[in-house]
C-alpha cells in the first residue's frame, strides 16, 4: 500500500490553462511532493535538495 504524501496544501502549476492537464506540488517538511491534478494519487515525493536541483535544471533549459 502506498503512503500518501503529507503536506499542508497542494499548489497547482501557474502554467495550468484550466483543461485539467496540470501538475500540483506540495511542501511537507524537507520533502516536496508532485502529483497529477486530475488524478490525486499516486504522488511522487522528493528530497528538497533534489527538487531544488530539478528547478535549476529546468530554468537553465
C-alpha to C-alpha distance for 14 and 12, rounded to whole angstroms: 6
- pTM of the predicted structure, to 2 decimals: 0.73
Residue 20's pLDDT is: 67
The residue ranges of every structural domain in the chain are: 22-60
Partners of residue 44 on adjacent β-strands: 34
pLDDT in tens, 25-49: 888 888 898 888 887 777 888 999 9
Amino acid at each position: 500500500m502506498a503512503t500518501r504524501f503529507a503536506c499542508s496544501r497542494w499548489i497547482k502549476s501557474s502554467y495550468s490553462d484550466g483543461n485539467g492537464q496540470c501538475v500540483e506540488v506540495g511542501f511537507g517538511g524537507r520533502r516536496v511532493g508532485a502529483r497529477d491534478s486530475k488524478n490525486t494519487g499516486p504522488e511522487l515525493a522528493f528530497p528538497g535538495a533534489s527538487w531544488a536541483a530539478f528547478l535549476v535544471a529546468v530554468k537553465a533549459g
